[in-house]
Structure 1
Amino acid sequence: MLDWIITNSWVFWLAMFLLLAIIEIVTLDLFFIMLSAGALAALFGGLLGGPFWAQVVIFCVVSLLMILFVRPVALRHLNRGPADLRTNVERLIGETAMTLEAVTDNSGTVKIGGDTWTARSSDGSQIPAGQRVQVARIDGATAVVAPVGGAFKDNEVGEA
């Protein structure tokens, strides 16, 4: 079996390329596609008649270089996007909210966009009820808020 793989190494690398590409399609983490690129480079090494040990070295080197240099850049580009495309709780960061009850460093509630959230103060200060706050981050199901000054007017309560 090993003799056949060494003799027909291009078939082995083609199968590895396809298998790794299929795994990438399932996982979508840009890791297996980098290995797949290494298998593709080794495939060309096999088609050019290189010895099997050299093809393995090509696979390892190209895969490692792709993982170290290409994957981080690709992930940065994929994760970058305009703020209006933020989803889930990410879209709440920076929003204005109203405190429904006093918010301390370990308890409180706020109203963010019509929803009531448990909250805590980002700087440990106590924020009284009815105050305007800004969402600094979301920790699980708790909004971490910071005061932005001023109380809400009665007609603004429904907008927060």
Structure 2
Amino acid sequence: MNELQEGPLFKFSEWPKGQIPLLAAGVYTVWRGDVFLYAGMSGRGRKQEHLVAEPGQSQKPLGLRTRLKAHASGRRSGDRFNIHVCDRFVIPALTPEQQVDIGLGRLSLDQLTKTYVHEHLGYRYLICRDGKEAGRVERAVRGGALQAGSPYLNPQSAQAVRR
């Protein structure tokens, strides 16, 4: 689990970077410099046999790669990470002129979120054997298992950690 804090940090601005398999359940952490912002997982409900590519078949990416790609896109629709980033970092920094431009449709919050993610954030990841393991690791990380403590944007509630 240490690689989620000490492993290589990949910048969203260099997406796709790293060797994330096409099919993978896993956990990731997002950082702004040394600040631990967010922990997430992908592959919920996936068993190990669902994460094996058949020889000779082209595979659509599934799991960790698609989740991190969605975060790199900046699109807020259906993406809690991008909603958190927009709400906590982008919106508070908007100028009155930008607010007007958003209201007139000349400026997009999704584009501003993507710019913020690419300019300021990086990620680390851990491949897990299946979705069940990824879920356990994510809960532990969100609950403070890393030396960095709990993530700023989505800490695990004490009640959820006991489950």
TM above 0.5: no
Give me the TM-score of the superposition, normalised by structure 2: 0.24
Largest Rg, 1 or 2 = 1
Q: Which has the higher helix share?
A: 1
Q: Which has the higher contact order (CA 8 A, sep 6+)?
A: 2
Give me the TM-score of the superposition, normalised by structure 1: 0.25
Q: Which has the higher strand share?
A: 1
